[in-house]
Chain A
Amino acid sequence: MSQIEQAKNEPKGARPKEQITTDPSDAAQRMRAGSMIIPVTPWVIAAVLLVLMPFIFTDNSAITIMNQMSITIIFALAYNMLLGQGGMLSFGHAVYAGVGGFFCMHVMNWSDFFAGLPLPLLPLFGGLAGMSLALVVGSFSTRSAGTVFAMISLGIGELIAACSVIIVAFFGGEEGVSGNRTYAQPFFGVEFLQQIDVYYLIAFWLILSALLMYLFSRTPVGRMANAVRDNPERAEFLGYSARWVRYYSFVASGFFAGIAGGLFAINYEILTEENLNTASSGVILLVTFLGGVGFFFGPIIGAIAFTLLQTVLSLQTELWAFYAGVLFVATVMFFPGGLAGLLMMHVPVFRLGKARLLIIPYLKTLLPAAIGLLGLAGLVELVFHYRHAATGDNEMTVFWTTFDSHNILPWVVLIAIAGIGLGIAKKTAPSLLEAWNEATTPDGGTR
C-alpha cells in the first residue's frame, strides 16, 4: 500500500519530462479520456478562420497556396491515422490519394454523369476509390505492422507508380489525365470558375474530413487502433484481432486519402504520375512527422509549414530543399514530437500560469539564435553563390540586400551575425533551461 499512498501525494502535472517532450504517441492522455464532451471551441475557431482567410489574403496565388495546404492537411491527417494512431509506417500512401484523384478525373470526364453531379460531391468518389484500393491491399498488408507492412507498402507503391506509365487507359501516361470542373452541375448557381469558389469547397471538406477523422479516433475501433499500436498482443487478449483493427484504420485512411486526391483533382483539374510516386509518399511522411505524429493536430501544422517551405521559400532560394532537409533532420534529432510536440510542451507551463516566466528568457535566447541561424543561412547562400553563380555575375541578394559576393565585407558581416547571434544564444541557454525548469515546476514542489 505504501507506494500507492506515496504516489497519491505526488503533485499533479509533475509527469516525467520525457513524457512531455519525446513521446510521439502521447496522444492518449491529451484526448481527455474521461470527459463526456468533444471540445467544440477549436473546431469553431478553425472554421471561422477558414471562412475569413480569403478576406485577409485576397491574392489568387495566396488562395492557390491555401488550397494546396488544405489538401495536404487532409492527406497528412489521413496518413497520421496510420502512422500516429495505428503505428503503421507506409512508404506508399500517395497511391491511395492518387487513385482517388484519378478516379475523380475520370468521373469529371464522364460528361453525361458529371453534368448531373454537383461538384462538391465529387471528392466522395475519390474517397470511395481510395477506400476500394485500400480494401484490396489492406487484406494482405495489414497482417502485421512493422517492417513487413512498411515494405509491402513500398512495393505496392512502386508497382502502382510504375503502372501509371504502362496502363495509359486509366493513368493517362506521363501527361496524366485532365478535365474541367466547370462542366459539373452548378451548385446553387456556383460554377467554380474562380479559385475562391474552389477554396470554400475545399475548406468545407477540410473541416468535414478533419472532424470525421477526429471522431474516428474516439470510436471503439479508433481507440483500439491506439491499443494495437502500443501493444498488439495485449489487444488480442482483449478480444480484438490486431489485424482487423489495423485493417479498419487502413481502409479509413485510404478513404480520407482518396478525398484529398479528389480535392486535388478539383483544384488542379489534372492528375499525373507525380500524384502516385514514391517521392510524394515520402513527402507526406515528412510532413506528418515534421508536424508531430503524437497529436491529432500535428499533421496540420506540418502541412502548413511544409507547403510554405515548398511554394514560398522556393520562390526565394533554390536551396529550399536543403533547408527543408536540415529542418527535418533537426526535428527528428531534437524534437521527435514534431512541431506539435514543441507547442504542447508549453501546456503544463500555461496550466501552471507561469508562461510569463519564459517570455524574457525566450527573447534572450531564441531571438539571437534565430538571427544567428539566419546569418548562417546567409553564409550558405553566399557560399553557394560564390561557387555556382556565373563568372562576372557577382551580385546577389540575401534578405532584400544586394551586394557583391566576391567582396570580403558581406562575408565578414554574415560571419559576425552568425557568430554573435549563436554565441549569445549559447551563453543565455543555461538561464533559459533554468527558467524552463522553474516554469514547469509547480509552486508547491519547490518550496
Chain B
Amino acid sequence: MDLILVNLIDGLVTGLLLFMLSAGLTLIFSMMGVLNFAHASFYMLGAYFAYQISLALGFWMGLLIAPLIVGVMGAGVERYGLRRVHQYGHVPELIFTFGLALLIEELVQFIWGKNQMAYSVPDVLNFTAFAISGNSIPAYKIFMIFISIAIFIGLLYVLTKTRVGMIIQAALSYPRTVEALGHNVPLIFMGVFGVGTALAGVAGVIAGPVLGTFPGMAFVLGSIVFVTIVIGGLGSLWGALVASLLIGWITTFAKSYNIAMSDILNGIGIVTPTDLEDNIFRDLWTVTSPQIADILPYILMVLILIFRPYGLFGKRAA
C-alpha cells in the first residue's frame, strides 16, 4: 500500500516533467502545425545553460536565466529559420526541426564536450523530505512538483484570463480567422514558440540534476514527448496534462511491479509450454513489465491512433 503511494508520487514527478515539455509542444503544434522535433533539444539546452550559469551564479539564477535564454533562442529559431521554411509546407518544416535537433546536439558536444556534466541538486534541497516505510522522498522532487504545478496554473491563467491568452486560444481553433481579425499572427507564432521552448528550458533546468545532463538527454526524451501530445490530443492543454500523468504513472507502475507475460498468459488460460527453452516464443513468455515499461506509451499511442485518431481530448484529427 505504501509502495503504491510512493509510486504515485514518483509517477507524478515524471508526468509533470513530461507535461512541461508537452504543454509547449502542443501549443506550438496546434497554432503553427509544426511538429517540433527539436523541442527536447531546447530542454537539453536549458539544462546545459543552467549548469553553466550555476557554476558562476548558483542554481537559482540558473533557474531564472536559463529558460529566458532558451526562450529567446527559440523565438530566434522561429523568426529566422522556421518562418523561412514555412512557405515550403509542413513536411520541410518538420524536417527542418529534425535537422535542428541534430545540429543542437552537435553544438552542445562542440561546446561542452561529450561527458556527463556535474550539474547537481542545490544543497538547500539536497535532503530527504520524508520517508514512507523506508522509501525516502527527496525534497528536490517535491520542489519539482511545485514548480511544475505553478507553471501549469500560470499557463492556465494566461490562456484563459488574459487577452493574449484569448487570442492564442482562438488561434488554436481558428488560425485563419484570427489573422483576418488583424492580429499579428507571425508575432504570436514567435511568442508562442519562444514561450513553448522556454517551458522546455525550465524542464531541462530542473530535470538536469536528477536525470543527468549529457548530450544524449534530448534523444532519450525526444519522441516520447510527441507520443504524449498525440495521446492527449493535439492542441489540448488538458489532454497534454492527462496524457503526461498517464504516461508517468503507467511507466512507473510497470517498472515497480514485476508482472511477467507468463503470468498474464497463464491467467487467461494458456499453459506455459514445458520445453520453454526450445520454444520459438520463449522470449515472449519471459517478457516482464519493467522490460517493456518504456515502450508501453508507444503501444498506447498506436492503439489510440487506430481507434481514436484525435486523441483523448483532441477536437481535430491529428
Contacts and interface: CB of A to CB of B under 8 A. Distances in A.
**A/B touching: CB–CB < 8 A:** yes
Given A148-B317, A384-B110, A332 B92 contact: yes
Nearest to B294: A162
B302 A159 contact: yes
A152 B106 CA distance: 28
A337 to B, nearest CB: 9
Residue of B106, B287, B298, B301 with most chain A CB atoms under a 10 A cut-off: B298
A324 B309 CA distance: 35
B107 A322 contact: yes
Given A147-B35, A322-B106, A336-B92, A169 B280 contact: yes
Contacts of B42: none
B295 A332 contact: no
Given A162-B292, A332-B92, A155 B299 contact: yes
A400 B194 CA distance: 43
A89 interface: yes
A89 B230 CA distance: 16
A398 to B, nearest CB: 16
B98 A285 contact: yes
A44 B168 CA distance: 57
B91 interface: yes
Nearest to A161: B295
A285 B95 CA distance: 8
B291 interface: yes
B99 A325 contact: yes
Interface residues of B, number: 47
User: Which secondary structure dominates chain B's binding surface?
Assistant: helix
A289 B37 CA distance: 16
A329 B298 contact: no
Residue of B35, B91, B299, B309 with most chain A CB atoms under a 10 A cut-off: B91
B275 interface: no
A321 B104 CA distance: 11
A151 B283 contact: no
A328 interface: yes
Interface stretch (B58-66, B81-89, B129-137, B176-184): B81-89
A158 B95 contact: no
Given A148-B317, A321-B106, A282 B292 contact: no
Given A166-B283, A329-B96, A24 B88 contact: yes
Interface of A: 22, 24, 83, 89, 91, 140, 144, 146-148, 150-152, 154-156, 158-159, 162, 166-169, 278, 282, 285-286, 289, 319, 321-322, 324-326, 328-329, 332-333, 336, 384, 387-388
Interface of B: 35, 81, 84-85, 87-89, 91-92, 94-96, 98-100, 102-103, 106-107, 109-111, 113, 223, 226-227, 230, 234, 280-284, 287, 291-292, 294-295, 298-299, 301-302, 305-306, 309, 317-318
5 interchain residue pairs of minimum CB distance: A325-B103, A322-B106, A155-B302, A328-B99, A329-B99
8 contacts: A89-B94, A150-B35, A155-B298, A159-B298, A285-B98, A286-B98, A289-B92, A332-B95
